[in-house]
Amino acid sequence: MRRRSHSAVNCPVRRLGFGTAQLTGPGYWGPRGDARDAVAVLRRAVERGVTLIDTADNYGPCVAEELIAEALWPYPAGLVIATKGGVVRTSDSAWHVDGRPERLREMCEASLRRLRTDRIDLYQLHRLDPSVPLAEQLGVLDELRAEGKIRLIGLDTVTPEQLLDALELTSIASVQNRYHLRDRSSEALLTVCEERGIAFLPWFPLGDGALLTDPACARLAAAHGVSAGQVALAWLLHRSPVLCPTPGTGTLAHLEENLDAGELRLSEGELLAL
């Protein structure tokens, strides 16, 4: 399954990771079914060689982080856990951005407790708060990094200009934006990441499920004897060496299918067709 690794400030990971949002209920709210199933999926992902687990404090809220600790603590060497803060949930459809420095510190320290760790490998600002100066939002993350509570800082849902502004203030290891075969609106951001050696973790790498039935993917899938979703994930791995998709699922069968996409090789002609 091992594809080319991407190293963000000496933090190498296998590019095909695992996202935990689907371990929670509809709207990323509450648990999803039996916690034992989620624990089994997380453990199997690591058994299969996944070294990047992506989560957020508001998945549940808190549920996903707690499941990670239950399943994987004490964490094996080389496992990178990325979480996020800066968004507060009050219902299954309510998301509130809060980038006040004191709140970001509280969120980070709460994630440390839930994850049972002294340091978060990659802490991502889930959204930029337009009501708080960017220097203040990143400043508290820099403080947390200096205190040893964060190893690397990432950003979620930003423009190329916002990324460049952030880079003037501190080092950024990763970004997360929507990006997949049928949504390439973050192409300019991807270019900046390639130029700066910044990891790009595309969210909704399967188009929130739409690519599982995409006709173009289905045609290539039939030719290779794989699924349309595997074609969509393989396209991301071929598209750029900085792309690190973290598809999520709550079932073992779908996990195996997603991870097998790392073995799929597409020809130049097939990539052009997509």
Quick one: pLDDT at residue 10? Answer: 58
What does the radius of gyration of the chain's CA atoms come to, in whole angstroms? 18
Measured from the Cβ of residue 249, the count of other Cβ atoms closer than 10 Å reads: 22
- Domain residue spans in the chain? 12-206+242-248
Residue 28 is among the residues annotated as catalytic for this protein: no
Helix crossing, 63-72 with 101-115: angle to 10°?
30
CA distance 168 to 245: 26
Bridge partners for 261 per DSSP? none
* CA max distance for the chain: 54
**Which of the listed CATH numbers 3.20.20.100, 3.50.50.60, 3.30.70.100, 3.30.1330.10 matches domain 12-206+242-248?**
3.20.20.100
Quick one: pLDDT at residue 8? Answer: 46
Quick one: pLDDT at residue 12? Answer: 82
Express each pLDDT in 76-135 by its tens digit.
Answer: 999 999 999 999 999 999 999 999 999 999 999 999 999 999 999 999 999 999 999 999
Return the structure tokens found at 89. 């949930």
Catalytic-labelled residue, pool 28, 59, 123, 179: 59
Question: Are the beta carbons of 32 and 258 closer than 8 angstroms?
Answer: no
pLDDT profile of the chain (274 residues), mean per 10? 44 92 97 97 98 98 98 98 97 97 98 98 98 98 98 98 98 98 98 98 95 96 98 98 98 98 97 95
Quick one: pLDDT at residue 70? Answer: 98
Quick one: pLDDT at residue 132? Answer: 98
CA distance 32 to 175: 27
C-alpha separations of 270 from 128, 182, 223, 224 in Å: 37, 15, 11, 11
